Structure 1
Amino acid sequence: MKAASLLTAAAVALSPLAAAAQGAGGISDGVVRIGVLNDQSGVYADFGGKWSVAAAQMAVEDFGGKVNGASIQVVTADHQNKADIASNIARQWYDVDKVDMITELTTSSVALAVQQLSREKKKINMVTGAATAELTGKQCSPYGFHWAYDTHALAVGTGGALVENGGDTWFFLTADYAFGYSLEEETSKYVKLKGGKVTGAVRHPLASSDFSSFLLQAQASKAKIVGLANAGLDTSNAIKQAAEFGIVEGGQRLAGLLFTLAEVHGLGLKAAQGLVLTEGWYWDLNDETRAFAKRFQEKTGRMPNMIHVGTYSTVLQYLKAVQKAGTDETEAVAKALHEMPVDDVFARGATAAGKAPGKVLPNGRMVHDVYLFEVKKPGDSKAPWDYYKYLATIPGDQAFMKPEASGCPLVQ
């Protein structure tokens, strides 16, 4: 296991946001510590990885480097997509290193495990990298929050759009763990709701290198849409190998149910062209998103996806909540997080001027608009990272599940 490294944000001139707030309790040990726990070496390393750490650092810098007079530190570690390793790191952070909040948490099994531990320890976790809607469903927590996207939003976006455009028969190629099951289940429900039919599914291990047998089953199904209920390098490898089998040339269409700018960049437009996908943010939506992306690129050498900017948003919102509460005490900060609108470059990332900010529901789901895109053909891309053709905005209250339908006990 990689040793956690401690990255301390340098204090800069205090912005008005970082002015000392009045309130009882104060900061427990004079330092607010935020942990970014994710995959930094495996299939999701580009999906989130060190780029999410950079986004968290940007949020600290933009906030002013201090909150309520206390310094802010960002701690990071690689969980290797293993729930036991993630839980051990989180326990060490909470019990010994005095970490106040953990964010990102790529991989649904990891996020669910850390959220359970966070609930037991009465600590806040804010998920941006994991997809399962169970985080704000049956396994919700009074201290758990879910940003950026989830399986329900992906199903409504990509699944709904393809069925409405004639893709009414589906076969799923699914990652064999909690995220894959959830994404397949949510998309299947929405396909059927729209009048479509699911002809079958096959599951593959995480970090597969050979998809041939799975793709042959998908090809034999004759389904119009092969839904890739996986992510990261698994999706990229499945798309590359699908080309070798002539699946698209044979008349079937691939749906990347969780595919982001990072994976499109890694795969290239020649292979990714024509894919329809859903993201919660894109760098080229408006002047504000372009300005943020330029700053991120100057820092990292690449454009951010929704996971990276979502992590920026969680860190910034957490610091605002600490400031509002006047303390880093969990109950007070969680209350502030539930009450405050989310008004930043992530939640405002729409094409329409005057867009309302995001909001946190009683089950911890942060509601914001999401966007449907089609990956451009190579000849249609006018500049580096110009990968998406905008198709539609899906309003947040349509993209995300209603709290009363989520199964979250806190709502009941």
Structure 2
Amino acid sequence: MLSSVRIASRRAVTRGVAVRSSIAARQASTWADVPQGPPTIQTTPIADLNFLRKAILGITEAFKADSFKEKINLGVGAYRDDQGKPYVLPSVRIAEDKVVSQLLNKEYAGITGVPEFTKAAALLAYGPDSSALDRVAITQSISGTGALRIGGAFLQRFSPGAKTIYIPNPSWANHAAVFKDSGLTVEKYRYYNKDTIGLDFEGLIADIKGAPKNSIFLLHACAHNPTGVDPTPEQWKEISEAVKSGDHYAFFDMAYQGFASGDTDKDAFPIRYFIEQGHNPALAQSFAKNMGLYGERVGAFSIVCADAEEKKRVDSQIKILVRPLYSNPPVHGARVASTILNDPALNKQWLGEVKEMADRIITMRALLKKELENLGSKHDWSHITSQIGMFAYTGLTPEQMDTLAKEHSVYATKDGRISVAGITTGNVKRLAAAIHAVKP
């Protein structure tokens, strides 16, 4: 009979073997070579500048950790009211109540989504008198990002050119990632002039004209993200001609219709003009900003086709793309958006609320400029008010942005971009004083 000491010793050895086996199993994991990915980042806006990358997550964490009561967060990419709080539009509350009161079922939508929503989304984008409405292939999408992803996949599969898409430099950080993952080659065209803090229009036109025939150009319809710099209507006309002369294809991203100027028709001018001029563009729409439906992920992707027969074929291929991606989109947010767009009284109310949001942003721009001037700043801050939309490029350097954060508790990305939605009547004086301190 084994002694208790020998039994304990054997059990210890057995446990040691089991532990070593377990460690070996973990070391031989299938996913052992998967690298740690970086946090979500705001990419460098201009290739020839050594701007440091700034993690949006890092901004949020630094802001939260700051104990200063008057700290300011200008990194958030969502609308805030004048108290700096998230804002749900009253029209959205009413529409949501209407949807809930109908006691609708939760059955799947079709592959292309809620028909009442997609029809209304097309009307909003293209206009009720558009010649394109009868030949638009459209699908509901997982907000604007999903629309871009569907568009990227469609263009990669069917574009007659070199499968290359040109995006502005700079552009929304996710554009390059979405299109690369769609299988497209991503190149950049000149857009922002750091010296004028405005549009590099000559460079833009030259790059469009210099691109290989049948290239794809991603165009921000309004409220360019991240610069807030938009072409004028006359410049859009020249852009249209340049795209046409190169046999290029226009893909519009319209994430801010109505939110930019306060007028949904004015903000849709570029895509409507392109159609008038014979282009058959693609369009990604988002209802995150203009309806505040951020978490509901409501969007649409559409392609203007040559005729009804082509529309039928394109629609069939869009369904083939969507089916293995996510089968069909969620219904609740689309029902809310559809209710707003299709109810005349509610639609009128919503348009008024969109204008109120846009007007607040415009007012904050004017106030910031005025406060800087009142402080005796020697710099020309006119770009603050000439830019449009949620974001503004201040022209501040990464070092100045670091100082703003460390010495003034003002947080934003190192490329000098600020979210104007984070400015309020309560903090604009302190913000101006902080900016004046780093750039007197």
TM-score range normalised by the length of the shorter chain: 0.3 to 0.5
Which structure would you say has the larger Rg? 2
Normalised to the residue count of structure 2, the TM-score between the two structures is: 0.32
Normalised to the residue count of structure 1, the TM-score between the two structures is: 0.33
Structure that is richer in strand per residue: 1
Structure that is richer in helix per residue: 2
Greater relative CO (CA pairs within 8 A, separation 6+): 2
